[in-house]
């Protein structure tokens, strides 16, 4: 087996390369290879992969990753990866891993003559195929990659030294030019280049190279070159004047011979006068930096403070350093490492500055980085010095700057995670709390102004996202404009297109702070950040990134982690599928949208279409897995975006739970962008989820918003689909509309039929005809209802719409049931049940079983009624469908009431509780009636009257004549025992309705009750 990490992570068996599928899998394998031959504990692997932000499922995810790696590596020999107690061990031979071979070759070259060193170093460098761990994604990768890069560059420097010792200056000049310009801060390469040119008698070119380095260091870092460069430059100038071609001496052992010094360095910037908040973090820093009188031991105390730009890392570090200054009487060192600059400050340059601050003579500062670090640590040995390293780029930049003695301590700030910094205590800064942000605004802008206008102050903090830098800038602007009311700045910040323009005060600017993070993430990262910022979603998964870049999910995940490392994205946790979720701070989103407006060649609309299409593609798949009310599935023509490499999708309902907020935001944004074709399609995909989970507020708001957008755009099909959902919602789930509910349903259903007819959509017309039939049944217009049900059946059959046929059969069964043709009703329900089972739509199976159970109860068949209803209940509870469960519970209450079964009361009470909880007026009316019937059967007449009167009131609002008549009949029975006159009036109203509906058997029953009551009143009967 051969393993490669000096480039992409690869495994080879002979000529066959194993396919390691995802960046995280390659990162896990890479970490095991870095620790080859040692047991890597699960805890260590977790820390390496996620740093301090491991998900709860980290252990199971790592087990899955290891299994995937093992499956991926095939061939004659299995992967020698052993599972040990608490971890894993990978056995790798010294010649099997390119990194081990690289290190061995470099080690063999040390101390050898130059003619031996050169071939060994060239063989070692030939092993590199690109950046180490180039295609891996894990918390440790950035630090490891930087360490590898340092080793590679050191090997190149050693190679050029050896080549020059052999007198091959002519041969290496082209290589040295490339190397120096690729790594322009490495002065040793420039010195070697200048020496080679000098030996080639190209002194002018050598001096020109020196000027190029000077310009770069001055322009990019505000620095002067080091002593070795100055010595080289002076030698060349002297040789040019006198012909003296002597080469400069290299600083060596003199580094350890500096004289002792008593200077106490004090390099900290001034403390912040109006420092605010961060109490918990200050306590952590104090506990870490102040040993409390105990022996600090030999271990260096290191604290890292990380967070996004503008969150106050530097302010906190400097303030904490001043607070503990007395604990470090031998001095405080401070350096800004410019980690977000294109070329961060070299550790060697910082060491030179620190050594000068520690009174080391300029001429005694070693040239070699390792020797400088040794001299620095020697100077700090036994002294109590605090080192503050601000804005670090990565661990490789920091490590040479850390003291080696436990008497010292270091505080490091960075926008990056620094997860590879061994033994460090970590503080991750978030934005201010509401209290902290208000306090800072008051301290900068005057607390009295903030107190006078609390609402406007809160608005300012909201638009600032409670980012400390933004709050400070807002306060500074107010302080410099004492006549401004708070409302003026709040109004200016409210406009998101100019918000960043208004967050500037002197040399403080939110935009500048964010720009430095944006600059370091590479072009691919910048492109992804810009595109993701265009979506107005609260958070998002990795597959959205894959969609907007048109790359597999695994590739997108690596880029997303780069954005998290740069603090441009916030980690939003892990979703139910184990995937990562991400979110933007509001000001970061605004900044990136600005960049997108200038830099997105394809334009924002194309990016949004890709992302919206991915949501549509997945929502469509998930919606298909959720059973529903058998409406026709009507989709738009907006093209979906297929996401590649998306595995392990969760359960459909769980997926909608996770993506709910994002889906709602996407639907609205699509409407606002004019993409109504996609908006109605996506909103339609949400309806079954809304329905089954009782999310009626979201459902109504979404459909109303999209309906209005479709109406404005003249999109009749989208308008119709949204109206169809609203009819279902407003008829059965809402009671806050004026007028009679079933009259409203009739009007809306007729409009729905017109819209579907206008666009010629047959299945939609069938759905509309069923809705019209239901409304007509409620009004007692059975002949018209029969005609519309027949229309629905014909249309559904013509277009192969099985769900429409099932719904038409249920409507006809309802009509026959109210006409008291119960045998015909049972036939239609039996056919509807067969169609629902053929569709494998369990929720509609449960619906038809409800109606069958109710029908069996009406004809006195308790056993089959209970059997059908219990099967229905089992299905509905499987889907946690509380709304539909109510009707089943009501059916069971009435079925058990046939035999005075005590379970009837429990079912009726449960149904009423759920109906009221979910604001279901139809079922509330029905449940009150059932509970009244239970109380009547138990002889509680007054209580029965109260329940039944409430039921009658609701049925009047509903406008369903047959249900009203039945409720009046039972109410009359309860009243007869306590108020016969009221009972007669109630029965008379019921009689009139039954006669109007043509329900002669029921009319005859009520008429007989009235006659009995009249006879009892006249003394002809003792009682009725």
Q: Where are the beta strands (DSSP E) in 748-872?
A: none
Integer Cα distance of 42 and 58 in angstroms: 9
Closest by Cα among 514, 681, 657 to 586: 514
pLDDT at residue 769 in the model:
97
Integer Cα distance of 635 and 684 in angstroms: 8
Burial of residue 971 (number of CB atoms within 10 Å: 0-12, 13-18, 19+): buried
* Residue 666 backbone phi and psi in degrees, to 5: -65, -40
* Residue 186 backbone phi and psi in degrees, to 5: -90, 95
pTM: 0.64
Residue 450 in contact with residue 434, Cβ under 8 Å?
A: no
Retrieve residue 34's tokens.
Answer: 């870095």
Looking at the DSSP assignment, which residues form a beta bridge with residue 142? none
Q: Which CATH number fits domain 1-166: 3.20.20.330, 1.10.10.10, 3.30.1490.20, 1.20.200.10?
A: 1.10.10.10
Mean pLDDT of successive 10-residue segments in the chain (1024 residues)?
A: 91 86 91 84 88 83 86 69 78 86 84 88 93 91 86 89 89 90 87 90 88 86 81 79 44 31 79 87 90 57 91 92 90 90 84 89 76 86 90 90 89 87 88 89 84 87 88 84 85 83 77 82 89 93 93 88 83 72 87 87 85 96 90 92 83 90 95 95 95 88 96 96 93 64 91 96 96 93 94 96 96 90 94 95 94 93 94 92 90 90 91 89 93 93 95 91 94 92 94 92 92 81 59
Residues 6+ apart with CB under 8 A from 79: 1, 11, 69, 70, 73, 90
Retrieve residue 160's tokens.
Answer: 């050029």
Burial of residue 806 (number of CB atoms within 10 Å: 0-12, 13-18, 19+): buried
Residue 659 in contact with residue 577, Cβ under 8 Å?
A: no
CA 562, 563, 566, 567 dihedral sign is negative
Measured distance between the N- and C-terminal CA atoms of the chain, rounded to whole angstroms: 97
DSSP code at position 127: T
How many H helices and E strands in the chain?
45, 16
Q: Give one DSSP letter per residue of 964-1011, joined into a string.
A: HHHHHHHHHHHHHTT-HHHHHHHHHHHHHHHHHHT-HHHHHHHHHHHH
* Residue 303 backbone phi and psi in degrees, to 5: -125, 130
Integer Cα distance of 779 and 507 in angstroms: 73
Residues 6+ apart with CB under 8 A from 442: 449, 450, 451, 475
Residues 6+ apart with CB under 8 A from 701: none
Q: Hey, where are the domains in the chain?
A: 1-166, 279-428, 434-514, 522-733
Residue 740 in contact with residue 701, Cβ under 8 Å?
A: no
Buried b (16+ CB within 10 A) or exposed e, 182-221: ebbbbbbbbbbbbbbbbbeebbebbbebbeebbebbeebb
CATH number attached to the domain at 279-428: 3.40.50.300
Alpha helices per DSSP H over 339-421:
347-357, 369-380, 395-398
pLDDT at residue 664 in the model:
95
DSSP code at position 628: -
Integer Cα distance of 949 and 417 in angstroms: 67
Residue 558 in contact with residue 591, Cβ under 8 Å?
A: no
Residue 424 in contact with residue 303, Cβ under 8 Å?
A: yes
Integer Cα distance of 935 and 941 in angstroms: 7
Retrieve residue 433's tokens.
Answer: 């709390």
Integer Cα distance of 280 and 899 in angstroms: 67
Distance set, CA 81 to CA 28, 55, 895, 929 (Å): 12, 24, 64, 69
Three-class SS of residue 412?
strand
Integer Cα distance of 531 and 544 in angstroms: 10
Please give the angle made by the CA atoms of 884, 888 and 894, to the nearest 5 degrees. 145
Three-class SS of residue 645?
coil
Q: Give one DSSP letter per residue of 182-214, joined into a string.
A: HSTT-HHHHHHHHHHHHHTT-HHHHHHHHHHHH
Distance set, CA 829 to CA 498, 807, 814 (Å): 62, 10, 9
Burial of residue 294 (number of CB atoms within 10 Å: 0-12, 13-18, 19+): exposed
Closest by Cα among 27, 37, 157 to 100: 37
DSSP code at position 93: -
Residue 494 in contact with residue 459, Cβ under 8 Å?
A: yes
Three-class SS of residue 609?
helix
């Amino acid at each position: 087996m051969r393993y490669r990490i000096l480039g992409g992570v690869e495994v080879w068996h002979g000529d066959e390369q194993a396919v390691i599928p995802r960046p995280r899998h390659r990162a896990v394998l890479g970490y095991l290879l870095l620790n080859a031959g040692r047991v890597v504990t699960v805890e260590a692997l977790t820390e390496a992969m996620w740093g301090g932000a491991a998900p709860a499922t980290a252990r199971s995810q790592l087990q899955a990753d290891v299994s995937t790696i093992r499956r991926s590596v095939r061939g004659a020999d299995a992967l020698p990866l052993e599972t040990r107690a608490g971890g894993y061990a990978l056995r790798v031979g010294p010649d099997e891993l390119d990194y081990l071979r690289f290190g061995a070759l470099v080690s063999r070259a040390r101390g050898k003559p130059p003619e031996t060193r050169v071939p060994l170093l060239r063989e070692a460098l030939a092993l590199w195929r690109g950046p180490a761990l180039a295609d891996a994604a894990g918390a440790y990768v950035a630090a490891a990659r930087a360490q590898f890069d340092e080793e590679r560059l050191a090997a190149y420097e050693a190679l050029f030294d050896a080549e020059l010792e052999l007198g091959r200056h002519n041969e290496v000049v082209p290589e040295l030019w490339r190397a120096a310009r690729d790594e322009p801060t490495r002065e040793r390469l420039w010195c070697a280049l200048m020496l080679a040119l000098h030996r080639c008698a190209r002194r002018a070119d050598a001096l020109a190279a020196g000027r190029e380095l000077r310009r770069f260091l001055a322009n990019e870092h505000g620095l002067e070159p080091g002593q070795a460069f100055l010595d080289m430059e002076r030698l060349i100038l002297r040789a040019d004047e006198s012909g003296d071609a002597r080469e400069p001496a290299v600083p060596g052992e003199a580094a350890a011979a500096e004289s002792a010094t008593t200077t106490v360095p004090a390099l900290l910037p001034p403390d912040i006068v109006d420092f605010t908040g961060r109490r918990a973090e200050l306590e952590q820093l104090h506990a870490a930096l102040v040993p409390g009188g105990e022996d600090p031991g030999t271990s260096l105390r290191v604290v890292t403070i990380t967070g996004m730009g503008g969150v106050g890392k530097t302010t906190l570090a400097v303030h904490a350093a001043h607070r503990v200054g007395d604990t470090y009487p031998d001095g405080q060192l401070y350096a800004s490492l410019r980690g977000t600059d294109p070329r961060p400050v070299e550790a060697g340059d910082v060491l030179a500055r620190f050594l000068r601050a520690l009174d080391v003579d300029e001429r005694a500062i070693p040239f070699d980085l390792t020797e400088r670090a040794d001299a620095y640590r020697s100077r700090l040995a036994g002294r109590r010095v605090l080192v503050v390293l601000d804005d670090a780029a990565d661990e490789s930049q920091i490590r040479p700057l850390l003291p080696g003695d436990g008497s010292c301590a270091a505080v490091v700030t960075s926008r990056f995670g620094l997860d590879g910094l061994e033994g460090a205590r970590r503080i991750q800064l978030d934005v201010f709390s509401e209290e902290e942000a208000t306090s800072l605004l008051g301290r900068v802008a005057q607390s009295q102004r903030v107190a006078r206008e609390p609402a406007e102050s809160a608005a300012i903090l909201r638009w600032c996202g409670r980012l400390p830098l933004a709050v400070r800038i807002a306060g500074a602007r107010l302080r410099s404009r004492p006549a401004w009311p708070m409302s003026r700045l709040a109004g200016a910040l409210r406009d998101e297109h100019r918000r960043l323009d208004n967050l500037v005060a002197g040399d403080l600017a939110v935009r500048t702070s964010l720009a430095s993070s944006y600059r370091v993430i590479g072009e691919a990262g910048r492109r992804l950040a810009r595109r993701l910022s265009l979506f107005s979603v609260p958070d998002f998964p990795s597959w959205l990134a894959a969609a907007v870049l048109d790359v597999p999910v695994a590739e997108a995940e690596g880029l997303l982690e780069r954005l998290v490392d740069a603090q441009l994205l916030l980690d939003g946790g892990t979703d139910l599928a184990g995937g990562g979720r991400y979110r933007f701070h509001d000001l970061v989103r605004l900044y990136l949208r600005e960049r997108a407006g200038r830099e997105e060649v394809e334009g924002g609309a194309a990016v949004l279409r890709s992302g919206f299409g991915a949501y549509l593609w997945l929502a469509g798949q998930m919606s298909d897995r959720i059973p529903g009310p058998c409406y026709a599935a009507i989709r738009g023509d907006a093209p979906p975006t297929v996401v590649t490499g998306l595995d392990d999708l969760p359960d459909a309902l769980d997926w909608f739970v996770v993506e709910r907020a994002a889906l709602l935001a996407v639907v609205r944004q699509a409407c606002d962008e004019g993409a109504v074709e996609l908006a109605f399609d996506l909103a339609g995909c949400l309806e079954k989820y809304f329905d089954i989970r009782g999310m009626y507020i979201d459902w109504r708001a979404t459909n109303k918003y999209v309906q209005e957008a479709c109406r404005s755009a003249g999109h009749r099909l989208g308008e119709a689909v949204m109206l169809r959902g609203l009819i279902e919602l407003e008829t059965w789930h809402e009671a806050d509309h004026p007028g009679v509910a079933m009259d409203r349903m009739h009007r809306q259903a007729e409009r729905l039929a017109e819209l579907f007819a206008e666009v010629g959509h047959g299945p939609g017309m069938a759905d509309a005809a069923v809705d019209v039939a239901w409304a007509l049944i409620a009004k007692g217009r059975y002949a018209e209802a029969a005609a519309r049900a027949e229309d629905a059946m014909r249309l559904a059959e013509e277009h192969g719409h099985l769900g429409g046929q099932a719904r038409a059969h249920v409507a006809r069964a309802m009509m026959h049931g109210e006409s008291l043709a119960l045998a015909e009703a049972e036939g239609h329900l039996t056919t509807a049940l067969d169609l629902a089972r053929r569709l494998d739509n369990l929720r509609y199976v449960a619906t038809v079983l409800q109606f069958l159970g109710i029908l069996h109860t009406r004809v006195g068949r308790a056993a089959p009624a209970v059997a059908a209803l219990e099967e229905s209940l089992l299905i509905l509870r499987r889907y946690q469908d509380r709304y539909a469960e109510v009707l089943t519970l009501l059916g069971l209450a009435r079925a058990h009431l046939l035999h005075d079964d005590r379970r009837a009361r429990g079912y009726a009470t449960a149904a009423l509780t759920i109906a009221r909880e979910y604001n279901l007026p139809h079922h509330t009316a029905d449940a009150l009636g059932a509970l009244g019937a239970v109380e009547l059967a138990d002889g509680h007449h007054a209580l029965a009257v109260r329940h039944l009167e409430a039921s009658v009131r609701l049925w009047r609002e509903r406008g369903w004549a047959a249900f009203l008549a039945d409720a009046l009949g039972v109410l009359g029975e309860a009243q007869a025992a306590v108020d016969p006159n009221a009972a007669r009036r109630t029965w008379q109203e019921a009689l009139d309705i039954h006669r109007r509906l043509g329900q002669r058997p029921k009319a005859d029953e009520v008429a007989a009750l009235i006659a009995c009551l009249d006879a009892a009143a006249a003394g002809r009967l003792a009682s009725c």
